[in-house]
Amino acid sequence: MPPASAWPKGAARMTRPAHGEGCTARIISMASQNPKKPESPAVPPSVGNDDAVVLERRAQRVKPPHMFQVVLLNDDFTPMEFVVHVIQEFFSKDRETATQIMLKIHLEGKGICGVYSRDVASTKVDQVLQAARSAGHPLQCVSEPVE
Ligand code: TYC
């Protein structure tokens, strides 16, 4: 090994591993140079540079997920009792609440049974339509984005 003074400036000095050491070489010292100051970005940020500001800006960019309401439509043929059963079963309402919702649909033409994420709302619609078709009723059910 050459004397330390013979090494070029900035080079790392290495030694052979001692007997039994697993690596082929080890670094015993690094020529030190003062670390360089990072260059400033080409376009400086418009607002301050600290982390708290960045976090706040990110949080504001995340919009809440769109929610979907599941709506039952009135018809002249589906029995009231079946509609009450469907509302209890698929929308987890007690009998009294389910009856009120059914009567609202009967009188006003349609009514909201629940509000869910897109996928859950879509599944509820499928379940209601499947139950209605299996029972031979024309009950209609749709999901629509909440305004
Ligand atoms: N109008 C139906 C009747 O008189 C009852 C009904 C209520 C049907 C709600 C559908 O979504 C409905 N038998």
Question: How many whole angstroms from 78 Cα to the centroid of ligand 1?
Answer: 5
Domain presence at residue 5: no
pLDDT digit string, tens, across residues 34-45:
656 655 545 444
Q: Which residue's CA is minimally distant from atom 2 of ligand 1?
A: 76
Asked if residue 103 belongs to a domain, the reply is: yes
Mean pLDDT value of segment 118-128: 98
CA 56, 57, 62 angle in degrees (round to 5)? Answer: 95
Does residue 135 belong to any structural domain of this protein? yes
Query: Is the confidence at residue 51, as pLDDT, over 70?
Result: no
Kindly report, residue by residue over 131-146, the tens digit of the pLDDT: 999 999 999 999 999 9
In percent, the amount of the chain with pLDDT more than 70 equals: 60
* Shortest-distance Cα residue to atom 11 of ligand 1: 74
Provide the number of structural domains found in the chain. 1
Confidence of residue 61 (pLDDT cuts 50, 70, 90): confident
CA distances 41 to 21, 45, 52, Å, are 44, 8, 19
Mean pLDDT in the chain? 78
Residue 23 lies in a domain: no
What is the predicted pLDDT for the residue at 108? Answer: 98
Model pTM score: 0.64
- What length is written for the chain? 147
Whether residue 104 is contained in a domain is answered as yes
Cα 95 to middle of ligand 1, angstroms: 16
